Amino acid sequence: MRESKPWYEVRGGLHFRCTQCGKCCKTPGYVAVMPEEANAIADRFRPGADAFDLAGELWNWELGYNAWLIHVEDGESCPLLGPEGCTVHDIKPKQCATYPFWPEVIASPSEWAAESLRCEGIDPDGDVYTPDLIKIIALEKRLTNENIDA
């Protein structure tokens, strides 16, 4: 039996270019921050600090996910978002770095189109992401342990 190709492979890929608008940073839910990511971010905020030093201030440890979780409430933004955008853009958590190529967003053309209403970077004029690259990015997202429904 032949496996069918993902819809975005039939299309030849998808177009996206992050505009750093910060809208995704203001979406209610959780951001999973893996321990090594959290330590790098903590050191950025306070040189010599580790993730535990910022517990309760930026995130909380969630044993079931083996990750630090940033909870973004409705009407608020991620605490890592500053006036000029993401304050840790170069070392941002994998969950953020893999957006919008999350499995649930690339599941169908309609999900992708719905996400484009929230993300101005999903645009026909954006950079072309090949199907192979999309698959790699989606796999990286799965590896973050981020399976939390917000």
| Average pLDDT by stretches of 10, the chain with 150 residues | 84 94 93 94 95 94 88 96 93 95 96 96 95 93 59
Q: What pLDDT is stored for residue 150 in this prediction?
A: 41
Structure-token pair, residue 62 = 């969630």
Q: Give how far Cα 46 sits from Cα of 29, 51, 60, Å.
A: 25, 10, 17
pLDDT for the residue numbered 120: 95
What is this structure's pTM?
0.86
Q: What DSSP designation does 73 have?
A: -
Structure-block tokens of residue 129: 């992401």
d(CA 114, CA 55): 34
**∠ at Cα 24 (50, 11), nearest 5°?**
120
Antiparallel, parallel or unpaired: β 29-33 and 127-129:
unpaired
The pLDDT assigned to 65 comes to 77
Q: Please report whether residue 43 resides in a domain.
A: yes
Is residue 125 a part of any domain in this protein? yes
Query: Cα dist. 91→2, 13, 45, 56, 129 in Å?
Result: 40, 26, 12, 21, 21
| pLDDT at residue 93, rounded to an integer | 95
Domain span at 101: 8-142
Specify the pLDDT at position 70. 96
* Total domains present in the chain: 1
Domain membership flag for residue 149:
no
- The answer as to whether 1 is a domain residue is no
Distance of CA 3 to the CA centre of its chain: 28
Name the 3-class secondary structure at 17.
coil
24 inside domain: yes
- CA torsion 71-76-79-80 (nearest 10°) is 110
Angle (nearest 5°) at CA 99 between 32 and 29: 45
Q: Is residue 3 part of a domain?
A: no
Asked if residue 150 is part of any domain, the answer here is: no
